[in-house]
Amino acid sequence: MNTKKILIVEDDKMLCTIFQMFIQELNYEIVAIVRSGEDAIKACNMYNNIDVILMDIHLDGNIDGVETAKLISKTHSIPIVFITGDSSPETINSATLENVYGFMTKPVYKRNLGVNIEYAIAKYKKMNS
């Protein structure tokens, strides 16, 4: 079985713990957990086998999740699922990027997380085959 590898980009420590538990229960592998866009870009450069990035929109650091996704898409082809507490029309509109394959609002439930990860991977494969 090929375990899917997940990068978590989230600045809330409690949510990171919950995501980590859910991802392990869903039998995925976490390659890294980072708190900022800058660290997400570094992780993408360090790990070349990431299957999906779970990314919060509002992050620690100087760049938000939307800008981070744009920068990652310039050098890496990795599907991103946004996870955010901000469902304003402006945020949703700004998050409609080519490399974004899902958008979840908090709170996140394990089953929905698993469905979104699988959907992102399946759609990514379909769009890139």
Q: What is the pLDDT of residues 96-120, one digit of tens each?
A: 999 999 999 999 999 999 999 999 9
- Find out whether 88 and 69 touch, Cβ atoms under 8 Å: no
Distance between CA atoms of residues 100 and 28, nearest Å: 19
What local confidence, expressed as pLDDT, does residue 129 receive?
Answer: 86
Q: What is the pLDDT of residue 52?
A: 98
Strand partners, 48: none
Task: Give the per-residue pLDDT at 1.
Answer: 54
Contact 120, 77 (CB under 8 A): no
- The predicted-structure confidence for 48-86, as pLDDT tens digits, reads as follows 899 999 999 999 989 999 999 999 999 999 999 999 999
Q: Which of 79, 80, 81, 85 is nearest to 105 (CA)?
A: 85
pLDDT in tens, 4-37: 999 999 999 999 999 999 999 999 999 999 999 9
pLDDT computed for residue 48 by the predictor: 82
